[in-house]
Amino acid sequence: MAVYELEQTDQLVALYTIIRDEKTKRDEFIFCADRIIRLLVEKATEFLPTREKTIRTPTESEYAGKEFVGKICAVSIVRSGEAMEKAVRDICQKIRIGKILIQRDENTAKPILFYHKLPEDIAERYVLLLDPMLATGGSAVKAVEILKGKGVNESKIIFVNLISCPEGIKEFTGKYPEVKVITGVIDKSLNEKAYILPGLGDFGDRYFGT
Ligand code: PRP
Ligand code: URA
């Protein structure tokens, strides 16, 4: 199992305190969520491959460094995953972004798949899978099922997530032990409506205002 939680520094906890607060207005929610998402995506890039590369600097010295290798893409689970696309584009220039539209049924919390559109050569790429909330795990499990159906190797998927909980992590990693999970924080549990506790409510509603 490969689950990485961001270090809970005071600065990070202060950002989470703002986005969790029911009184926080939408513009501040977006600003602080975007800051955390940026940290998560930067963390996720640490799991992408590199190789050694030596260059010469303007001081005529040699520098033994690294270069990025391997093709990557991002796939967002619509709607909330789309909020993570800007950070991915800011960090990975010209990255291709696929979409998987999955919505939880409001009564059963079971995921329903409506649509997907992915890069044709996705099987050759590392995939940053984007969804801010991992609750029961149903949506993320379905998304990986689609990626694997397109030939993506489980070990090349990095799931980037803002808030998770033990139930979702158990379900997801039980099914896909080789997928790396980068989560901002692992919360306590789920309530009877399958919302994360303490959580932040409905991410999509708060970020998009709909
Ligand atoms: C939310 C969230 C995840 C899912 C997590 O999406 O963005 O996709 O719920 O819950 P799960 O782990 O129990 O599947 P939702 O279906 O509410 O749609 P939205 O992104 O449009 O808000
Ligand atoms: N989706 C959300 O937006 N929040 C939760 O707590 C669970 C699923």
> Identity (one letter) of the amino acid at 185?
V
Nearest CA to ligand 2 atom 7: 195
Looking at the chain, the whole-number percentage of residues with pLDDT higher than 70 is 100
Residue 165 structural domain: 3-208
Atom of ligand 1 nearest to the CA of 136: 13
Active site residue 104: yes
In this prediction the pTM is 0.97
Active site residue 89: no
When pLDDT is averaged across residues 56-60 and rounded to a whole number, the result is 98
Does 97 sit in the ligand 2 pocket, CB within 6 Å? Answer: no
Active site residue 205: yes
CATH number at residue 98: 3.40.50.2020
What are the pLDDT digits (tens) for 75-111? 999 999 999 999 999 999 999 999 999 999 989 999 9
Does 196 sit in the ligand 2 pocket, CB within 6 Å? Answer: yes
Q: Which of 128, 109, 131 is nearest to 184 (CA)?
A: 131
- Ligand 1 mean position, distance from CA 96 (Å): 22
Active site residue 125: no
> Identity (one letter) of the amino acid at 182?
I
Report CA-CA distances (Å) from 147 to 98, 152, 158, 186.
10, 6, 12, 24
Chain centroid to Cα 189, Å, comes to 19
How many domains are there within the chain?
Answer: 1
What are the pLDDT digits (tens) for 136-169? 999 999 999 999 999 999 999 999 999 999 999 9
What was the pLDDT predicted at 103?
Answer: 96
End-to-end CA distance of the chain: 36
What was the pLDDT predicted at 70?
Answer: 87
Q: Exposure of 59 by Cβ count < 10 A (0-12 exposed, 13-18 middle, 19+ buried)?
A: exposed
